[in-house]
Structure 1
C-alpha cells in the first residue's frame, strides 16, 4: 500500500483523516470545465456522476469508501504541475500539453501515461484563429507584424506556429506573440489590444456566437489530427489500477451518453460552465467539430509524434518517447469495447427553440430554406472545403449558380470563388433570400 494511504492526515491523493484512514481512498481528478473537448472525462462526467457510481460499486466489494475530488483549471499546464507534485491522479488536456505532461513527469520522477482520448478532429478543426468582427484582416498572411494572443505550449499555439510557417511567416519574428490565458486573450481581442487570437475549443466558437469575433483561419487547413486525452500518474495506475479502470468505464459511459443525447449533453455542459449551449453544441453536437471516442487511434498517436518537434523548437520539451507514454492496456482491460465508427461528413443542422433534438439537411441551401419563419436557436453549416461546422449566420456565403455554399473563413470563400467561374461571395441575408 502506498505511503500516502497510510498517513493519518488528509493528503491530496488517496488519504483521509481518522482511525479508518486505510478504508477511505480519495481520487483527485484535474479537468478543464470550459475546454469542452474534454467533457467526457471532466464536466459532463462529473455532472452525470458515473465515476462515483463505479467507485461505489467497487466499495461494496472491497469495503472501502471512495471519494472523488474534482479540480478545475483553465489549461493543461497547472494540471501537469499538480500531477508531477503527486497531487492529481488523473487529468485531461490537449495533445501539446500531453507531451509536456509526459516530459515533465519523466523529468521530475512522476512519470505519466496517456490512457484514453476524449474528443478529436482528424483534420485539426478544433483550433481556430479569430479576429475582431470589424477587422480588415482577411487571411493568415495578413498577420505579419501583428499582435496575436495565444497560450504558449497549447494545441492552439501549435496550430498557429504550423500555420504561420505554412504561410511563409516566421512564428517568432514575423508576429508579436502574446502568451496569455484564453480568457485574457479573449478580453484583449474584444478590447482591441491584439489583432487576432489563436485558441482551442470552445473559445473561438463562443466568441463568434457572441458576435465578438470572426474566424480568420480554420485549423482544419493543416489536415493534421488534434485531440484531447486522459493522462494518469504511473504510480497511481500501478497501485490503483482498478480505480483507473472505473474511471475509464465511466468515461465510456459518458461518451455513450453524449453520442446518444447530444442536445441534453450540451445543455448540461452549458449549465455547469456558463458557456452558451449553442457554442457547446457547435463542437460537441451530433455533427460537431469534435468526435468523441476514448480509443487511442493510430492516426492520433502518429500526429502526437509530429507535435514533438514543434515543442522542442520552442524549448518546452526535449525528446519525448511517445510510444512509452501511450498505454492502451487500461482501456482495453476496462471497457472491452471497440472504437466507435469514424465520423462521417458533417451535415447542416438546425436547432429550434424549445426542441430537445435537431434536424439535419443534406445541403446548406435546404437549411436556409427551413429557417424562414422558424424560431431558431442555432443553425450550423459545414465548410465546403474542410467540413468544419460553423454557425450559419457567422459563415461566409458563396452563390454558385443555383447552389449556396458556406465557409468558415474569407480565405476559404476566396479559394472557392477563384476556382469556380461565376461564383461570388454574398451576405448571409442575401443567401437567405436566394435560398427561398
Structure 2
C-alpha cells in the first residue's frame, strides 16, 4: 500500500499541456515531476509541447529527495532524479524503474565556498562545516572528495539542508562549504557570490535518470505516452544545444535566475539523453555499492531489476 503524501510535499506549479485529441487528452494524463523547471523549460523553448495527444500535469520540486518520496507514494508518474536519490528510494522497495539516462558534464556538481574563503581543497576541510542535502548528489561528491583527500566523514561537520537554506547558510557564514549541483552552482558563482572549491569531474558519474512508477509502465497507454514524452525531451535537449540563449530565456522565466546565468548553467552541463545501456547499469551498481559502504544503504542492492530498457531514443 502506498503512503499518503503530505499536502506540502508537492509544490505549486501545475500546467496542462495542449492536446491535438480531446478524447485522448481527457483519457491519458502523465503527472511529471520536475526539478527547477529543467524539463518543462527545454520542452517549452523547443516547442515540443505542441500537438500532444495526452495531458501533462507538472509538479515542481526544489531537490530530488521530495521528488523521490512523491514517486514512491505514487503521487507522480515519472520524474527526473539523480543517481543517488533514485538508489535510496529503490533500496526502500519503491515500485519505480529508470527508463532513460541524461549524461552530463559533472563540473557543476561542486563544493562551493565564499569568494573570500581561505580553503584550498578537500584536504583543508577538516573541522569545517558542509551544508548539503542528505543522500543528494551534493552529499555524494562531498564524501568522494573527502575520501580522495584522506579526510574521514567524521572529521567534518554536516548540516543537512534544502538548497535555499544551504545557500543562505553559506552566505551568512554559518557553514564553510555548500555541496550542490546545477543550477545552484552557476547561480552562486555566476553572480560573484561564491567559487568552486572542488568540482565533480573525477568524483561522480554524471548520470541523471528519468524514472517512472511501475503502475505507469504496466499501463500500455500511459507507457506509450511516456515514450513519446521521452522522445520529445531528447529532441528538445538537442535543439537547446544549438539555441542556448533562447532556452536560457525560457528557463530564466521559470526558475527566477537571470537569463545569462540560466544559459551558462545549461552550457556547463552539456547533457544528452540516452537509452539505458550496460555501461550505465554498471556505473549505477558502483554508486549503489559506494553508498552501501557509507552505510546509507543498509543491504546490497542489485540495480539491474531497477531499469526498464524498453524505451527507445533516436540518435541526435
Q: Same fold (TM over 0.5)?
A: yes
The answer to whether residue 269 in structure 2 is matched with residue 294 in structure 1 is: no
User: In 2, Cα distance between the equivalents of 1:42 and 1:299?
Assistant: 28
Against the structure 1 CA distance between its residues 67 and 293, is the aligned structure 2 distance closer, same or farther, given a 3 Å change threshold? closer
The answer to whether residue 188 in structure 2 is matched with residue 200 in structure 1 is: no
Question: Which of structures 1 and 2 has the bigger CA Rg?
Answer: 1
DSSP 3-state at the match of 2:300: coil
User: In 2, Cα distance between the equivalents of 1:48 and 1:87?
Assistant: 27
User: In 2, Cα distance between the equivalents of 1:317 and 1:278?
Assistant: 43
2:19 alignment counterpart: none
Against the structure 1 CA distance between its residues 183 and 316, is the aligned structure 2 distance closer, same or farther, given a 3 Å change threshold? farther
2:291 alignment counterpart: 311
1:33 alignment counterpart: 36
The answer to whether residue 256 in structure 2 is matched with residue 280 in structure 1 is: no
2:96 alignment counterpart: 112
1:250 alignment counterpart: 232
1:321 alignment counterpart: 302
TM-score of the superposed pair, with normalisation by structure 2? 0.85
1:9 alignment counterpart: none
1:317 CA displacement: 5.3
Which stretches in structure 1 are left out of the alignment for 5+ residues? 1-11, 13-19, 57-65, 341-436
User: In 2, Cα distance between the equivalents of 1:251 and 1:201?
Assistant: 18
Against the structure 1 CA distance between its residues 236 and 94, is the aligned structure 2 distance closer, same or farther, given a 3 Å change threshold? same
2:113 alignment counterpart: 131
1:241 alignment counterpart: 223
How many pairs does the alignment contain?
Answer: 292
Deviations 1:275-324 (A, max 9, x none): 13323333322xx3332223335443322211112322233453322111
Match of 2:76 among 81, 88, 91: 88
Which stretches in structure 2 are left out of the alignment for 5+ residues? 1-13, 15-22
1:238 CA displacement: 1.7
User: In 2, Cα distance between the equivalents of 1:324 and 1:166?
Assistant: 31
Against the structure 1 CA distance between its residues 93 and 217, is the aligned structure 2 distance closer, same or farther, given a 3 Å change threshold? same
Q: Which runs of 4+ in 1 moved over 4 A?
A: 20-23, 46-49
User: In 2, Cα distance between the equivalents of 1:311 and 1:31?
Assistant: 25
Kindly report which structure 2 residues correspond to 1:21-420, keeping only aligned pairs within 5 A, or say none: 24-33=27-36, 39=38, 41-46=39-44, 48=46, 50-51=48-49, 53-54=51-52, 56=53, 66-104=54-92, 107-108=93-94, 111-121=95-105, 124-171=106-153, 173-222=154-203, 224-239=204-219, 240-285=222-267, 288-312=268-292, 313-316=294-297, 318-330=299-311, 332=312, 335=313, 337-338=314-315, 340=316
Name the stretch that deviates more: 266-275 or 183-192.
266-275
User: In 2, Cα distance between the equivalents of 1:80 and 1:193?
Assistant: 28
Q: Does structure 2 retain, via aligned residues, the 8 Å contact 1:126–1:290?
A: no
Report which structure shows greater RCO (CA 8 Å, sep ≥6): 2
User: In 2, Cα distance between the equivalents of 1:262 and 1:49?
Assistant: 14
User: In 2, Cα distance between the equivalents of 1:133 and 1:311?
Assistant: 31
Q: Does structure 1 retain, via aligned residues, the 8 Å contact 2:44–2:250?
A: no
Q: Does structure 1 retain, via aligned residues, the 8 Å contact 2:108–2:185?
A: no
